[in-house]
Each structure stands twice: as C-alpha cells, then as structure tokens.
Amino acid sequence: MSAEVGAGLRVELRANRPIPLDVAFDVAPGELLALVGPSGSGKTTVLRAVAGLHAPARGRIHCAEQAWLDTDRRLRLSPQARRVGMVFQDYALFPHLSALQNLTLAMAGNNSAARRERARALLARVRLEGLEDRLPAQLSGGQQQRVAVARALARDPRVLLLDEPFSAVDMMTRDRLQRELAMLRRAIDIPIILVTHDLTEATSLADRICVLHDGRSLQTGTPDSLFRRPATPHVARLLGRQNVFRGIITRSGGEERLDWGGVLLELTRPTGLADGMPVHWYVPDSDIVLHRRGRPSLGERENPVKGVVEDCVILGAQTSVILRCNNGAGSLRLNVSSHAARRNGLEPGAAASVSLLAKGIHIMGGADPGGGEAHEEGNTSG
C-alpha cells in the first residue's frame, strides 16, 4: 500500500451480485492510478462505486481519513457529500449551457460573480481563454474534454475520476490531451483514478496500474514492475505480454537452472522452489537480444537460443519477429528495428539466434489459476 494512504484514498469492495467485485487498492495524494482490464472487467463499476453511484454489497471507502462507505457501520455518503470530480467518457456537458455556465453550475456558493471569476480561471488553466461563451456543440472534441476536466475541478474535489476520457477524440488530439493532463497533474494534489483500455496510455500517465478481471483486482504496481514481473500468466496475458512459457526448476552442481525444453537457462534470482518443480516463466521483449549474423558477441554467452524465423512483419521503424526455437518448447516474440532485421536477413525460414538475459527471466510458479489471486506490488514470486 502507498505510504500516504491516510491522506489519500483507500478502496475495498466486495460483492457476489448483481456485479461481482473483489477489489482493493489505494491512491496517495497527487498519485494517478490507472485501472486496466478487458471490457466487462469492472473498471467503470469501481469508478461509480467511488463516486457513490453504485452500492456494493460490502466494502469500505475512505478519502482523506473520512469514511465515504462502510457497510459494516451502514454508512454510505451521497455522491454530493463525497466531493468527487468525474470526467465521463462522453463528457456529459449540458448542451444548452456555455462552457462558463457548465462550470459555474458545478460550483458551490451563492456569490455568482466569484463563481464566474473562478470558472474563467479554471478555463484558462486548461487553455480555453476566449471560448467561455461557446456552447458544447461549438467546441471541438478536445475542447469539450478540457471543459469536462475544468468542470470536474470546479467542485474542488477530493478525488478526480477519469472514465476513458480520451476515447472520443482522434489520435493527435489524444496525444495532446494526455500531455496536458500530465502537466495539469503538477497542480493537483489529490488522488486521481484513470479508467482506460489503452496500456500505452496507462504506462505513460500512471504512477501505478491496477489490473482488473471479472471484477477482481489481480495485481497492483508501477508500470515497470507489472511489465517485468507479472504475478501470474493470466496477468501477463491481460497486459499483452506474450513470452510466457512452462519450464522446470532444476539444480545441478549446486546451481539453480530453468530447464526449458532441454535448454538450461541461467537465473540471477534464486526462486527457493524445489528441484523438479514445474513453473511458468516470462521474459520481457526488452531482455531478448538478437545475435548479429556472422558477428559473434559476448551477449551470446548468456542463455543463447537458436531457432528459425516463423513470421516477420514490418511495422514502420519496428519489425515484429516470431522465432520458433529449435528445442520445440515454444516460439519467442520480439521486436527489432527494421534496419536490424534487414541487416541480419530476418525473413520466414531464416535461421537466427538470441540471448535471453538472465536478469529479465521472471519465475511465476506452477499454477495458472486463470482469474489469479489478488496481489499488491512486491507480492510476486521470483
């Protein structure tokens, strides 16, 4: 859990129906947590529960040490009492009100002049000076999104919730809005939760990521820890990781190795597992090093694996390669620069070899429960 959770947000939700939930996470002040997972995994339901728009059968939600939900005490604050700023997927702006009026309507207080002044300042913060009097229909998708963010902040919220806020705009606008959100975060010292399907978006914006599936939180951690050390094969698949294989822990001469189809791979971290234990293991694409054809290198000495190129697809500056390994234990997937692919003659049927860097090999244990267990950062084997 985060060190500053007492001043931040803590969420624990449990339900069997109508929507199954088994979720626990926290968000520190100024931290952005991304909820990721496939459609139907419960991301928006969790967001609605935090906002008070969905009531789970059991749970606790505490924000800044104030209880918003505690089913054991039969406590459930209304959405209005929670002071949540929420940006919906479709922005939900009032079409008959101007950008300025959309903000002032969300503000508390009876001083209309003070509310208009603050609304103008918020619109200026999101770079909408001069557009205060425009209706939503007179604004571009990106401008509407910025009005929605400013309106969410107009409530002086304790938590900012973003539900797929960039899905309705084109790619160029999305990139610009993501940069603006990253800059806006510097001035916001409250917990932020982002719901997204886009792993690239989550990686670039989030301090931590929570992986959800079937209403369960499977693993929470920094982007680097998740992509390098997924807790289970199931989590790895949900994160789009492909190089997951089966192997056996073996010890020879007092040293631990990973037996992968007869190839003994070196490990840098002792697993503590018994000799002969079957495991799943994973290696990030970044730790698969292509050997230069006809030019031996020192890198070939660490876990060298030979194979035949099964598929080779050029994707602009990068080329996606599938290497069918000669040991018959599986096919490795790696991305190399298109220049390196051409230089090394990578094409279907060509022989190639790679090194699997020991520092990147991550042991996940033997069982793949599918749904996985709930894991917090650091609770991964290997």
Would the pLDDT of 68 be above 60?
yes
H-only helix segments in the chain: 43-51, 79-82, 99-106, 112-125, 141-154, 171-184, 199-205, 223-228, 233-238, 338-343
16-20, 149-153, 195-199, 287-291, range with the lowest pLDDT: 16-20
Task: Report pLDDT for 4.
Answer: 45
Q: How confident is the model at residue 43 (pLDDT cuts 50, 70, 90)?
A: very high
pLDDT at 187 over 50: yes
Q: Find residue 352's DSSP bridge partners.
A: 307
| Residue 298 reports pLDDT greater than 80 | no
pLDDT at 301: 63
When comparing pLDDT for 122 and 380, which is higher? 122
What is d(CA 193, CA 165) in angstroms, rounded to the nearest whole number?
11
Residues of the chain with CATH 3.40.50.300: 5-236
pLDDT top residue among 183 and 226: 226
pLDDT at 277 exceeding the cut of 70: yes
Residue 380 reports pLDDT greater than 50: no
Which of 201, 198, 205, 233 has its CA nearest to residue 219? 233
Q: Domain 5-236: which topology?
A: Rossmann fold (3.40.50)
Confidence of residue 6 (pLDDT cuts 50, 70, 90): low
Q: Band the pLDDT of 300: cuts 50, 70, 90.
A: low
pLDDT greater than 90 at residue 11: yes
- pLDDT value of residue 166: 81
The mean pLDDT of 311-327, rounded to a whole number, is: 95
Residue 1 has pLDDT above 50, yes or no: no
CA dist 211 and 289 (Å) reads 28
Residues 6+ apart with CB under 8 A from 202: 34, 36, 194, 196, 209, 223
The mean-pLDDT minimum among 88-97, 136-145, 173-182, 362-371 falls in 362-371
* 212-270 confidence digits (pLDDT tens): 999 999 999 999 999 999 999 999 999 999 999 999 999 877 789 999 999 999 999 88
Average pLDDT, the chain: 88
pLDDT of residue 295: 63
In CATH terms, 284-356 corresponds, of 1.25.40.10, 2.40.160.50, 2.60.120.200, 2.40.50.100, to 2.40.50.100
pLDDT value for 109: 74
Q: Checking DSSP bridges between strand 84-87 and strand 159-163, what pairing results, if any?
A: parallel
Is pLDDT at 193 greater than 50 in this prediction?
A: yes
CA-CA distances (angstroms) from residue 283 to 246, 302, 307? Answer: 12, 14, 17
Residue 125 pLDDT level (bands cut at 50, 70, 90):
confident
Cβ-in-10-Å burial (0-12, 13-18, 19+) of 249 comes to: buried
Numbered ranges of CATH 2.40.50.100 in the chain:
284-356
CB atoms within 10 A of CB 346: 20
Look at the chain and count its residues: 382
Strand order across the 263-266 sheet? 263-266, 255-260, 244-252, 278-282, 362-365
Place of tokens 């792993």: 199
Q: Looking at the predicted structure, is the pLDDT value of residue 30 above 70?
A: yes
With tokens 């190399």, the residue in question is 336
